[in-house]
Amino acid sequence: MTVPDALTRIRLQVMWTRLIAVVEEQAQTMIRTAFSTTVREAGDLSAGIFDLEGRMLAQAVTGTPGHVNSMSESVGHFLRQYPAAAMRPGDHFITNDPWIGTGHLHDLTVVTPAFHDGRLVALFANTAHVIDIGGLGMGPEGRSVFEEGLTIPILRCFEQGRRNETFFAFLRAGSRLPVELEGDVYSLCACNEAGARRLSEMLAEFAIDSLVPLAEFIFENSRSATLAAIAALPPGRVTAEIRADGYEAPVTLCAAMTIGAGAIEVDFAGTSPVSARGINVPPAYCRAYASFGIKVVVAPEVPNNWASLQPFQMRIPEGCILNAPRPWPVSLRHVIGQLLPDLMMGCLFQVVPERVAAEGSSCLWNPPLRGGGAVSGPAMGNRRVIEDFEVITFNSGGTGARADRDGLDATAFPSGVRAMAVEATENVGPVLFWRKEFRPDSGGAGRTRGGVGQVMEIGTLGDLEFACNAVFDRVQHPPLGRAGGLAGAPGVVRTRNGQSLRPKGFQIIADGDRLVLELPGGGGMGDPLERPPALVARDVRDGLVSPEAAERLYAVAVTAAGTLDEAATARLRAARRGGRSVDRPRGD
Amino acid sequence: MTGPARLAIDIGGTFTDLALEVGGQLVTAKVLTTPAEPERGVLAGVHRILAEAALAPAAIGLVIHGTTLATNAIIERKGARTALLTTEGFRDVLAIGNESRYDQYDLNIALPEPLVPRHLRYTVPERLDRTGRVLRPLDEDAVAALAPRLAEDGVESLAIGFLHSFVNPAHEQRARAILAPLLPGVPISLSAEVSPEMREWERFSTAAANAYIQPLMARYLALLAEALSRLGVGAPLFLMLSGGGLTGLETALRFPVRLVESGPAGGAIFAADLAAAAGLARVLSFDMGGTTAKICLIDAARPKTARSFEVARIGRFKKGSGLPLRIPVIEMVEIGAGGGSLARVDGLGRIAVGPESAGADPGPACYGRGGTRPTVTDANLALGRYDPDRFADGRLVLDTAAAERALAPIGAALGLDAAMAALGVVEMVDETMANAARVHAAESGATLAGRTLIAFGGGGPVHACRLAERLGIDRIRIPAGAGVGSAIGFLRAPVAYEVVRSLYQRLTRFDHEAVNGLFAEMAREAGGIVAAAAPGAAARESRIAYMRYVGQGHEIPVKLPERALTAADADLIRTAYDAQYAAFYDRPVPGSDIEVLSFALTLAVPAPPATPAPPDPPAFAVEASARRLVRATETGRLHDWAVHDRAALPPGAHLSGPAIITEAATSTLVGPAWRARIGAAGAIELWRELP
């Protein structure tokens, strides 16, 4: 290679690294300026840069996988409606259409053209989850997208720097939290502007006026890295299935994965039809989480962009719950969508078992809590009513066991969100958390254990009536183990006084009572009898596994204080193995 | 200048650095750290530096000490067997954290283990609401009943953390009062005292860390004080805090967690002092060592501070992979990029550098100690940036052929020869550091262009020009004495203490009396600590409010007047906030109310003022002492560069790039677009004129 060619190659690498830093800066700006707790506390956002054909060049590492290529797809829709040639400096375009953006009305996507020396060079896009967009609010109860809130078709919210007053007037009128919502739109625009500014500085520094050669370099390297990762897998066809609670009836998700030359194709034929309630998934969101589930196993090191995601192809029959046509309700598309990585890993377990995890709690257990007049009506006579509040927290059960490590206790996967401090939540509304700690005996037993879930007990100040718009899954269908590992504990939704609640739907918790959520544990991996007794003893000493469960599931004799009886354990295990493998030759 | 001698001691992982200032003269020394008994290394160093300065121990008037001991105890998990007592129902706050993964694309991550394992986390019935009102009284019998169990479990230190205790510490205090007499010799840390701020995970984590290192630090500080006094050093011992101030022994013993990261804080103060002396208003300090680089923003000669950071990150310097500590701290970005950082080609055919390091053993391939993998130092050598025979004063002869051999596989993977592979490595490591600085500036609402880069550490002077070019910076200083910068920084630190308290306020119904009351309390607390450390000295107060629009999540610091507030001040504060917000984010949000989450008060006895730099000596051009072929990053080709020996360059010496200025510990690269001169104080000053 000649010296100038070598220099060019090194510079392209440097610029690629720079571009990823530029979008990271874009994401950080959003986190610091956003109004929604969902963005700033929970990190439910994404940010990226696109070429003028709408192909994603780079995406911020900060953010959540659900937005991965759903945002990537949405930029193409913007370009079809507003061709690049007609875009002007200071323009910002917006939508929350679930079939154009990232799957439900609560996600706003803003696209902003970036100019350098007066020429359009790229597009910046970002997505953020806002707190309120009118309608019924986050919950499964809507029967069509029209009931779920305000739909914003693709439109220009700023034109050459001027506010679109008509748009902002409609937006404010359509939300319970108009100031915060408007502030979030400002934040989305500001962060794209920050990205555009940095990009222009980068082009000046490297003395280039187009991103086309860089885009080709990024796409070529990413494509070949992903293809090399696919080529390292044995080709073939594998299938998997997951059963979930659903709303009115259990839901089955089916996948047939074909690993071929240059692509991994997934066919979702056999999957349950759409639900009458808002747990349906628009296809872009299905592609996003299915791609994430494959990528995290097959090619985790390859940065997200158009080319690195392209070899993952999905066929999703229209009308199934993973490809809900408009106007089916989709508010809680993540409850089903977040099971997709488990489904993908169910396929990949048959290909590269050492690289996948067992099933986990997976869908977030975010209780949307509401109290006050909207739940209890006005206070009358002696009847006290709690002050009006809307609170949502982001919580998770256990993740599935990995081949060489236990699952993570009470940790979000596949979602990338973070939980808020209880003290901070209690400062947002008159709610009280009486308990939030690990749930013993919930991690699925295995050679490696599933992560444990957690128990949360929630009331209000004065134990007054409130409501929970339940959005939970894995209650009738716990996360399953793999390779002989056992299932994690299923979720439980009840009140402190013992009343059982439905896992999905709007329900009232009466005066004097409290909501109790027992979050699922992750599935185990491998035969529990192969788990080193010392690790079982440690879990018993820590109170995460009871001595009874240690004996019953792991055949380990250990006291509550964690003292291991090695001789008794050896006897228990021998007896258990003997009883289990009747067809094994004896006396060897 | 007269006055008693001041001695600074900085214990690092490998070296213990000392700096002694007497009569305006500075003497420095470097000795090996003795990890098992750190005070032994200190004594050796003190002997040596006193001999060099021809000074008697009694002539020392003040000893200032900083140490990585606290940090290392946490990283290496060598602290006390620590228990946590907390609110019933919340046993796992330390382990649950924020329920998130620090890497979205790595299925196999491990999360940091809490310092207190679950079987040592105890709960008792009690509960306060968000206003501090008691919802459930503390079960005092349950507290007392725990004492025998704690003793049986061999607990050596105890942290107590209850929900909302930062509003009302009564339950935590009562629990301590009950347990202290039952557990003699077990120190007790209260979360409401160690870190009185909202968010239970961060507060409990800070209290647990304080408890975890307390016995160890108490033992060590007692031994050190005793050893110094045996030596005849009767001077008071001051400790360097992570926030950049100094405090006395008593506070250090109560809140040892505030000593974490005190060494790097010294480096930032060293740069800040240089900025003050040279009248530089906006600075970026850049300290590049063997395994990491540290970057700090310094405005108006004050290093940027923060209220929290993470210690002991397990995931390759990744945010979120450490234990949170909520204490005042000089804010630095640490990147896994140093001279010993290893370079490789990743799955995408990209050169990646760090965070793995070849360390001191075997070190870079060119050290000839058995290292075969390419490091940043190998790349610099292969480009001709070091004189192989004069590295480290000639104590180490560098093996250029070994460096090129190590770099060859990188070249092979990319179709480059070893020399161009070396160029790729340094370009990527410079870009990595520049990106970290850029993202940090964005997070801080700061701009980088127009700043002066103050570069030190073994790698700083080599990489400063290219880093500056990438950040749009046109001025650089390479201070003299940079090898023991942190210790020199200690000598420049003020006796100071910062107190942060949470108190929720909305500007539309601002309760100035409540805020005045809070500040009075904070002033009393800080006043007691500062007066004990510097009796009779006049202290200066500064006040800050952490504010945001109602509904936003991140506060920005806004300075408040140093006086009692009146109702009319709400408008003044709003104006100050709007100005500050616009400076951070361009776009103020119309019509939003503003809330204050917490307040900070710092009381500082100003350090001796920086000695203003003497006037610039007359400039004169100097001849190169040698010439060498160096491969330029701009062209990729070898060019004939001038070589100068720093020791032979007197103040006023003036030269143009491309050139290399060599010295014992490092080389300063003067890029082709740059000029350099030696300032009156011995610093190398570099600048470039843009076309």
The DSSP secondary structure of A209-229, one letter per residue, reads S-SHHHHHHHHHHHHHHHHHH
Strand pairing category for B293-299 and B282-288: antiparallel
Return the pLDDT at B163.
Answer: 98
Confidence check: pLDDT of B520 > 80: yes
End-to-end CA distance of chain A: 64
pLDDT band for A196, please (50, 70, 90 cuts). very high
Cβ within 8 Å of B, A 55-74: 61, 63-65
Write out the CATH class of domain B5-74+218-262.
Answer: alpha beta
Look at residues B641, B651, B658 and name the one whose alpha carbon lies nearest to residue B684: B651
Quick check: A356 pLDDT over 80? Answer: yes
Across the range B320-338, mean pLDDT stands at 90
Yes or no, beta carbons of B636 and A301 under 8 Å apart: no
Does A438 contact chain B (CB < 8 Å)?
Answer: yes
- What confidence tens digit (pLDDT) does each residue in B261-308 have? 888 889 999 999 999 989 999 999 999 888 889 999 999 988 998 888
Minimum-distance CB partner of A33 among B163, B416, B585: B585
> Interface pTM (ipTM) of the complex?
0.93
- Clarify whether residues A540 and A488 are in a common domain: no
Same structural domain, A47 and A179 = yes
pLDDT of residue B13: 72
Distance of CA A205 to the CA centre of its chain: 37
Rg, Å, chain B Cα set = 26
Q: Would residue A94 count as lying in a domain?
A: yes
pLDDT value, residue B2: 45
pTM of the model: 0.91
Answer whether A296 sits within 8 Å of B107, measured CB to CB: yes
For chain A, percent of residues with pLDDT exceeding 70 = 97
Which pLDDT belongs to residue A513? 97
pLDDT digits (tens, 9 = 90+) for B90-132: 999 999 999 999 998 899 999 999 999 999 999 999 999 988 9
- Percentage with pLDDT > 90 across chain B: 55
- The answer to whether the Cβ–Cβ distance between A411 and B438 falls below 8 Å is no
* B101, B202, B551: residue with CB nearest A183: B551
pLDDT tier at A265 (50, 70, 90 boundaries)?
very high
Q: Which residues of B touch A423 (CB under 8 A)?
A: 130, 163-164, 198-200
SS3 string, B418-430, reads HHHHHHHHHHHHH
- Rounded CA separation B118/B407 (Å): 47
d(CA A46, CA A54): 16
Q: b vs e for B303-340, b when ≥16 Cβ sit within 10 Å of the residue's Cβ?
A: bbbbbbbbbbbbbebbebbbbbbbbbbbbbbbbbbbbb
Write out chain B residues lying below 8 Å of A18, CB-based.
Answer: 431, 435
Rounded to 5°, angle at Cα B418 from B416 and B423: 80
Tokens 């200083």 identify what position? B477
**Nearest CA-CA partner of B80 in B153, B27, B179, B181:** B153
Q: How many CB atoms lie within 10 A of CB A568?
A: 14
- Grade residue A72 by pLDDT with cuts at 50, 70 and 90: confident
Terminal CA-CA length for chain B: 45
Residue A222 contacts B where some CB pair is shorter than 8 Å: yes
CB A201, CB A314: distance < 8 Å: no
For residues A264 and A258, what is the distance between their CA atoms, to the nearest angstrom? 6
Contacts of A307 in chain B (CB under 8 A): none
Q: Which residues pair with A516 in a beta bridge?
A: A457, A494
Higher pLDDT, B76 or A336: A336
Return the closest-CA partner of residue A290 out of A394, A414, A401, A402: A414
User: Considering the domain boundaries, does residue A348 fall inside one?
Assistant: no
Task: Give the mean model confidence (pLDDT) for residues B581-607.
Answer: 77
A373 assigned to some structural domain: yes
Contact status of A206 with chain B (Cβ, < 8 Å): no
- Select the residue from B84, B92, B134 to test the A interface by mutation, using most A Cβ atoms within 10 A: B92
Nearest-angstrom CA–CA distance, B504 and B513: 13
Query: Rounded distance, CA A295 to CA A309, Å?
Result: 8
Q: Cβ contact (<8 Å) for B636 and A6?
A: yes
**Contact, A153 vs A74, CB < 8 A?**
no
Closest Cα of chain A to B464: distance in Å? 17
Based on the number of CB atoms within 10 Å of its own CB, is A241 exposed (0-12), middle (13-18) or buried (19 or more)?
Answer: middle
C-alpha angle with apex B161: B159 to B164, nearest 5 degrees?
160
Shortest distance, CA B184 to any CA of chain A (angstroms): 25
pLDDT reading at B388 higher than 80: yes
Q: Does one domain contain both A41 and A181?
A: yes
E strands present in B322-392: 323-325, 329-330, 333-335, 341-345, 351-357
User: Distance (Å, rounded) from C-alpha B422 to C-alpha B410?
Assistant: 9
A423: contact with B, CB 8 A cutoff: yes
> How high is the mean pLDDT of chain A?
93
CA distances from B283 to A21, B169, B303 (A): 22, 41, 9
The answer to whether residues B364 and B377 touch, using CB atoms and an 8 Å cutoff, is yes
Distance CA B483, CA B202 (A): 35
Q: Is A62 contained in some domain?
A: yes
Residue-level pLDDT at B551: 61
Q: Does A439 touch chain B (CB under 8 A)?
A: no
What residues make up the domain containing A448? 357-531
Assess if residue A253 is contained within a domain: no
Strands (E) in B507-625, as ranges, are: 540-549, 556-560, 594-605, 620-621
Return the pLDDT at A584. Answer: 44
Instruction: Tell me, yes or no, whether A109 and A178 share the same domain.
Output: yes
Q: What single letter denotes the amino acid at residue B4? A: P
Query: Across the interface, do B416 and A427 touch by the CB < 8 Å criterion?
Result: no
A488 with A561, same domain: the answer is no
Instruction: Please report which helix (H) or strand (E) contains residue B660, including its range.
Output: strand B659-662
Q: Do B439 and A21 touch (CB under 8 A)?
A: yes
Please report whether residue A345 resides in a domain: no
Picking from A179, A201, A224, the residue at the C-terminal end of a domain is A224
Q: Residue B392: which pLDDT band, with cuts at 50, 70 and 90? A: low
In chain A, which among 238-257 make CB contacts under 8 A with chain B? Answer: none
Residue A386 belongs to a domain: yes
What band does A588 get if pLDDT is binned at 50, 70 and 90? very low
Residue B572, CA distances (Å) to B559, B564, B569, B588 in order: 11, 13, 5, 16
Question: Would the pLDDT of B586 be above 60?
Answer: no
A482 to chain B: which residues are within 8 Å by CB?
none
Calpha distance B247→B241 (Å, rounded): 7
Q: Which of A60, A55, A57, A76 is nearest to A23 (CA)?
A: A60
Query: Looking at the partner chain, which of B90, B199, B470 has a beta carbon nearest the beta carbon of A424?
Result: B199
Angstrom distance (rounded) from CA A285 to CA A271: 15
Q: Considering only residues 481 to 510 of chain A, which have any Cβ-Cβ distance to chain B shorter than 8 Å? A: none
Q: Is A301 on the interface with B (CB under 8 A)?
A: yes
Q: What per-residue confidence (pLDDT) applies to A585?
A: 43
B146-161 b/e with 16+ CB inside 10 Å = b? bbeebeeeebbbbbbb
- Do A147 and A98 belong together in one domain? yes
B58 token code pair: 């009694």
**Helix runs in A127-266, H state only:** 165-173, 178-205, 212-231
pLDDT tens digits along B626-653: 999 999 998 999 999 999 999 899 999 9
pLDDT band at A69 (very low <50, low <70, confident <90, very high): low
> Within a 13 Å sphere around the CA of B345, how many CA atoms are in the beta-carbon half?
19
Q: How many CB pairs under 8 A join A and B?
A: 232
Residue A84 and residue A162 in one domain = yes
Contact between residue B90 and residue A436 where contact means Cβ atoms under 8 Å apart: yes
CB atoms within 10 A of CB B237: 18
Confidence of residue B356 (pLDDT cuts 50, 70, 90): confident
pLDDT score recorded for residue B1: 38
Least confident of A422-431, B32-41, B406-415: B32-41
**Interchain pair B428, A13: CB under 8 A:** yes
- Tokens 């006395």: give the residue: B248
Indicate the residue of B423, B443, B445 with minimum beta-carbon distance to A10: B423
Is the separation of the CB atoms in A484 and A406 below 8 Å?
no
> For residue A156, is pLDDT > 90?
yes
- Find the CB nearest A423 among B198, B423, B554: B198
A232-250: per-residue pLDDT in tens?
999 999 999 999 999 999 9
Of A506, A531, A556, the one marking the end of a domain is A531
B495-605 to CATH, choices 2.160.20, 3.40.50, 3.20.170, 3.30.1490: 3.30.1490
Peptide bond into B4 cis (omega under 30): no
**Boundary (domain end) residue, out of A224, A243, A261:** A224
Contacts of A215 (CB under 8 A, 6+ apart): A51, A55, A57
pLDDT tens digits along A106-129: 999 999 999 999 999 999 999 998
Phi-psi region of B661 (alpha: psi -120 to 50; beta: other; left: phi over 0): beta
Same domain assignment for residues A129 and A96: yes
Instruction: Give the model confidence (pLDDT) of A21-40 as tens digits.
Output: 999 888 888 887 787 777 77
Burial of A162 (0-12, 13-18, 19+ CB in 10 A): exposed
Weakest mean pLDDT among A233-242, A252-261, A301-310, B551-560 = B551-560
What's the mean pLDDT when you consider all of chain B?
89
Angle at A94 between CA A92 and CA A95, to 5 degrees: 170
Give the total number of structural domains in chain A: 3
In angstroms, the separation between the Cα of residue A120 and the nearest Cα of chain B is: 22
Contact A24 B439 (CB under 8 A): yes
Shared domain for A152 and A165, answered yes or no, is yes
Q: Is residue B14 within 8 Å of B28, Cβ to Cβ? A: no
- Measured in angstroms, the CA of B435 and the nearest CA of chain A are apart by 6
A395-404, B19-28, B430-439 — most confident range:
A395-404
Comparing alpha-carbon positions, the chain A residue that sits nearest to B153 is A561
Whether residues A446 and A566 share a domain: the answer is no
> Residue A426 falls within a domain, yes or no?
yes
* Contact present, A196 and A119 (Cβ < 8 Å): no
Q: Who among A301, A405, A411 is closest to B346 (CB)? A: A301
Residue in A closest to B470 by C-alpha = A205
pLDDT band at A192 (very low <50, low <70, confident <90, very high): very high
Confidence of residue B554 (pLDDT cuts 50, 70, 90): low
Cβ separation B415–A34 shorter than 8 A:
no
Q: Do A61 and B107 touch (CB under 8 A)?
A: no
Residues B479-503 have pLDDT tens digits of 987 678 889 999 988 888 888 787 8
Contact by Cβ (8 Å): A519, A410: yes
Of A17, A186, A454, the CB nearest to B431: A17
pLDDT band at B584 (very low <50, low <70, confident <90, very high): low
CB contact under 8 A, A300 and B107: yes
Percent of residues, chain B, with pLDDT higher than 70? 96
